Amino acid sequence: MEFFIYLIENYAKYKGTSADNVLREWDSLGITSFIYDMYQRYSTERIENAFDDIDRLSHERHIKE
C-alpha cells in the first residue's frame, strides 16, 4: 500500500493534478486494481516506466469508451 500511495502521488505531480483526481480517473477507467496489482513490476523499475504504462492503459481505456 505504501508504494501505491507513493506511485499515485508522484503520478499526480507528473500530470499536474491531485492524487484524488488521479484515483477518481483510474476508478472511472477500471484500472485502479490492475495498477495496484502491478506493485512488483512498478516497484523494481524506474517510476517513469510506470507512468508510461499507466498513460498507455488510460489511453486504451479512453478509446474503448
Domains of the chain, residue spans: 2-64
Q: Which of 2, 4, 3, 22 is nearest to 12 (CA)?
A: 22
- pLDDT tens-place values along the chain, 65 residues long: 899 999 999 999 999 999 999 999 999 999 999 999 998 898 899 999 999 999 999 999 888 76
Residue 19 burial class via C-beta count within 10 angstroms: exposed 0-12, middle 13-18, buried 19 and up: middle
Contact (CB, 8 A) for 8 and 22: yes
What is the rounded distance in angstroms from the CA atom of residue 47 to the CA atom of residue 12?
12
pLDDT at 22: 97
Q: Write a three-state SS string for 3-22.
A: HHHHHHHHHHHHHCCCHHHH
